[in-house]
Structure 1
Amino acid sequence: MSHPILEFLDIRPEDENFYRVLLRTGGASPQQLARHCDMDEEAVCVLQKRAIGLGLATVTDGLLRPITPAKAVQNLIDHRIALTREELESAAAAHGVVAALLAERDTAAPADPFADSDRPMMKHLEGLAEVRAAIDELAFYTRSESLTTWPGGRIPVDSITTARPLDERILRRGIRMRSLFGAAALDDAETMAYLRELVRKGAEVRISRVPLERILIYDRAAALTPIDPADSIRGALLTREPGLVAALVSLFERMWGQAQELPVLVGEDGPESAGERPSEIERRILESLTTADKDETGARDIGISVRTYRKYVAALMQRLDASNRFHAALLARERGWI
């Protein structure tokens, strides 16, 4: 047995040894691996699922094959970074770090618009810089859902650069993201490439052929609308007024219901559109519902936190209109998702 060298990435010795066996064999069936590792097939299946979840192996032509060492190590590093980032973000949120720093910055202000108390229900944000700062902070505090519309459809390249880290952070935390775009997005290659990137990472995207209103809604508790719809650079109105936010959510839902899923690229197979098919991590979570007896087990096998795992499960159950987790797995199989 080789000495473990991946312990610094929190990889168990048995998982590393299993990956080494795959590297030596080049690929094998569960039965062959059971004989080679001197294990029963059930134990091999557990190791196989963990290897796939960790990005160490993939199934091709019925055989479990190793991911190349360079890519495998990069996958392990990405897992570790994602987990560490989530732990740090959760800790920062739990300790109110941003609110505390904002209080320092705004000591001269009569009220902090993002603190947990004494927040104004309505606030005018002047200029693009102030709006972007508000979006940064609202996205940081979002815990369950982000709803956004882009009436113009096309996203400028510099806006994509600004939006990407915010969108990735939201999706990485298991937050449901739904985004509506005007039909002009279909004619812009950069925008469409970014939308497909978001879908691959778990976002839901639709295209509307009817006019849209510009709205950003976070956790159905706060919303941003432009002061001047014809000139968004002028600034925005931030509202936390429950009645107004609820009305904006209803408007978003009506626009969402009238929109269409993102078109399938030429060469994509399957009856589902890109916006309907599950992302890779969603597919793995659906598969785990048929094998893992506990959330902790499923989360560990996939390499995400239990909290993120449960958020994905809840969103998938809602998306599938499933009454329980077993029902969700059955419906996913019927759709050909797993």
Structure 2
Amino acid sequence: MLHVLGISQIEEQVYLSLLDRAPASVSELADRLEIEGRTVALAARALEAKALINRTGDGGSLLAPTPPDVGLSALVDHRQRELNEASMNIRPLVDQYRRGQHERPLEELIELCVGREAVARRFEQLQLAAREQVRVFVMPPYMINLADNHIGMQLLREGVRLRAVYQRDAIDQPGAPAQIQRFVDAGEEARISRILPTKLMIGDDSRALIPIHSDPEGVHTSCIVVHPCGLLKTLIALFELIWSRAQPLDLADSETIETSKSSPLSRSDHALLSLLLTGLTDRAAGRELGVSERTIQRRVHDVMTRVDAQNRLQLGWQLARQQWLGRRSARGAAQND
């Protein structure tokens, strides 16, 4: 519990024991904790140096704890000052590193990572290093399961912009629409493209990661990391080009959809049409909504009848003209900024 403040496990045991019952001698603490007296004495000296205990009694034979709101708070403040000083030194080191990039040999501009653990570790490192934005092309098999991408959620909570372009077949995976919508609700800007050229992750404008080999199970076993150079600029331009042409993605469920009073669509209609407009087949949409393919077809036909559309193309035109999918359109307009 207290190791982040530089307090060892034995020191913590001694301190907590004194908080329960003090003052106490070294021998009493040794008996109470069932630890050798010499070990307790060493821990006590360390706690004294941290101003967490003080000596009392005749000749200072007894030990008493400093109140936590005094002793521990002082340690926290001291550790925070050290972290702030270290943080201030990061920027000069980054500048020094970037200056060195211009002088790096050509072969060092492309870093090769081999092994599934090395690939996963590098992927996490590049995400966590991002301070402004992360751009990704997402297509199965995934580098990390959507449900397990806790770092992506952490970045969104920290205010890092996350932009993702999903290949259309990515949302055909069981459970994928719900997981993608979870990220969209958290602030991810998501779009969908019929096909993507490669998997890609770009952290800020400083590095890009591209998987190059996978095992038979689809787990990535090697990747390249591109450092600042002309190739990195090309990858950034490629992302921005595909992003500009991709369709905004919103897979909101019926409980979170806001419908216009003038719209003939119910919330469940809105949820269904949102899935179909992203490119899901009737079967895949039915799987997400827990109904059969035939039920999806019947519900779409009912909507077509209500809006006087003869076919699905006409239905799509009516939806766009009347702006009956207003929540989706509003999100799409925001993502075009």
Instruction: Settle same-fold status: TM greater than 0.5.
Output: no
Q: Provide TM-score, normalisation by structure 1.
A: 0.45
Q: Provide TM-score, normalisation by structure 2.
A: 0.45
Mark the structure with the bigger radius of gyration: 2
Using CA pairs below 8 Å that are at least 6 residues apart, which structure has the higher relative contact order? 1
